[in-house]
Chains A and B, each alone.
Chain A
């Protein structure tokens, strides 16, 4: 407990230290990450303790905040999220030290580190808060800090636009949370979570609260159709911030949803279906949009939408399991979702750091200007490949574990015997959408990996790329190692999520259920298989080296294809690679193409370009906001700029009040 509080104190109080040093100096660039790392390291151990269910505590600190109390606590669920947050944040801070010192905009480095530390501290506070007012304060602090971090390059027009979209979206979500907390507070007469959990709400109230929670927390988590801010804000932020935001900050939405669902009593089937629907929609639309993107960071952001969709599917399946009384399936659903939260945090921050390194080295993340970077940036390419394979859910890596749990849940439900009975339909939906999302994810990340790192440079800057400094390589290597180790030590991992799941599902005899639903034999089998694959790969590599050792090895251009004068333009572009798939989903993913056709026997010039469009933004949000603008334009008549009439409004209001009082 003391260590968590110390960590909070270091992060929140230490952040102000960043403001005391010269804003653009070297000291800010060292002090900021140092505080973030120190604070995170302090908190990681107790978080891990709580996560495995060893140390849970609750305390009310003797300090007053308006209308709330400083109640904090730690259980397995909080511990799980705190562990994820602190691990990724510490690594991102190390990465950011080098990233920010080299980007050239030195003047706001100290402010940026101040906000970064506030962000990490407030995320930790969100998961340990045990009072709604404190939770909301931390939540708002988190949103504002990340907004200012996104605005780091605020002199660019598109960054400012992205920042405002993010600010508007996050406050849209917070508005729903305010109503939710208000409802719960009025009901229970207190804002403490202990009071909330004593609440036994009737179905209508619980249903309304659940909808509010899904909208409020779903906005933060980036579930479709509330995801519009995500593909804007994440690419606009500096890469280490994108890593934290996409890797862990959006997970606080999942945490909130889980935490508040425990206050609402027994879930109803439609809760599960709602979440599963949002999950399927997010998963499919997210990965399809990602496939159509040509900007690496934007693509990663859309892939975050997809992964949060997978998590939401798992949660929905879990809620459905509870409501149907199938605790084994519920357990599997929640465990898969939480597992995926951890995994996604690791590989998505790794991938964003990889994208940051590419940006750092080549000066762009436009896929069609990159290429062949694996030769100049071997470490980054290797780490990125590990992350890409992990996000596709390939077996020896960690991404496989969470999806495997979900697959097992769906297959168990479809088989529908014994403890798994009664959820055939949901199982089928889960299976089909998971398989489809997984397949598209493979296509998507093959595209990124192939276009960015393989082949030949498409552009002069990509040709002059260089490997990034050690402080940027190290966090990526650590994260890649976590991907690999977590995948191989799969036997241990269910034990990691199990206590956290217990916080949400309280089955009749949870111990027996755990044994039932987490078949450890399977995990040792996958771990063994993973290790075998790796060993086999290593053996093949050694064999290749041995075979080639006494022969002459020639190296030639990658895309020769038998032509006399191969050019880098002959390579597949990102859009040509994904076109066959994207075209099939024309209904949901639109791309604009402009082409000049060839004509004549000796055609001179031809061109082709395509641009992915955001269907939701164009066909849902744009008309909606147009409507709002039109409605508020009518009210603009009141804002004419005449001081006299403004005073007249005030006088009229006062007179009306007086007359009303005296009537």
Chain B
């Protein structure tokens, strides 16, 4: 049986990288856009197959456990829906001449390479390999952020590149320190980097070295999660790249870095003498939440607005995982899934909106529900969801975070609620001006595919009303793993 299940891991990696090579070689928009969708669907199905067949035992490089299945399935699903959105978005970009066919080939190849990098980061059992995979995923997104080659896009890509590289350098230094801590116990060579072995022996590692390692890892991967004050690259990268990339950046790439952080958090928790990573995560999470909530008020660019909203939500998620315990971890996990689905749905809507109106400036977009009912109302539902109103899924996860915090640390909960209300105010303010009122700007009909957006919103709504018991048990189990 194990031979079969190894195929699932291999497929999740080989389908993206194989199709990346194919997409780089093939000309023609229609063919490549469809191939991109098919490849993403195949990867998603391969990821789903892990549920039905036996899991492979952890090897020196690959690992499938209950924690990373959640991430892999979410990653490949959003990757698949984004590829559908990307097909209709890119068609419009080709018409208006913002992208040339050569760049399109490059774009599709990079899209699949990025999926490969992210999946590799999730399945790797080797902390060195995980680092290389995160670097690969970052590098591909940098190239895609700069793909329009406007002045602003290049500046954004450059900033992302430099800050991301410093982050990645810190993460590597932390990884080396973890190896140094493991070497006297686990032994020299490859074993000192295998996560499953590290976790077994973590109790006997030198706690002081482990502490310093975690600080570096937290700063390094935290830069990629977009935690304030290390977030500076994030709004620019979201605003200047193609919108499908904004969707995967917000919905997926931030999760990859978060996943790396969680792995090391579990490692720290396995050593009783090391510092608890919780307070650090709680502080950074709250700072990000409140900071981003204030920043939401000053935004004039619609993609930048939702980029700051991503910082806000990553803050909430890191806060929840930092609080720890079964309930807060459960809430954090649920919030992460809901945020990925909702935020990518919003970016799908924003992508079409900015194409129709020819601008990303908020004050030039008005009355969307009048001129484009389907798009406008989809956008309204998305923003209502991300602002945390019932009965949508984010309300439930935010409610769980708040209530579990109130029970343990009432003071922190007050700050949390303050940040949430602040962000809610900013988002409703912007929503009313964009969605309602006298229509402004172009009224051209949208040549868009609404399926991905409404599919995501339906999932978020469904999760808000009813969570299937198997899913709840699964998440509860993972929450216990996270300590």
Do the two shown chains form a genuine complex with each other?
no
CB within 8 Å of B: which residues of A? Answer: none
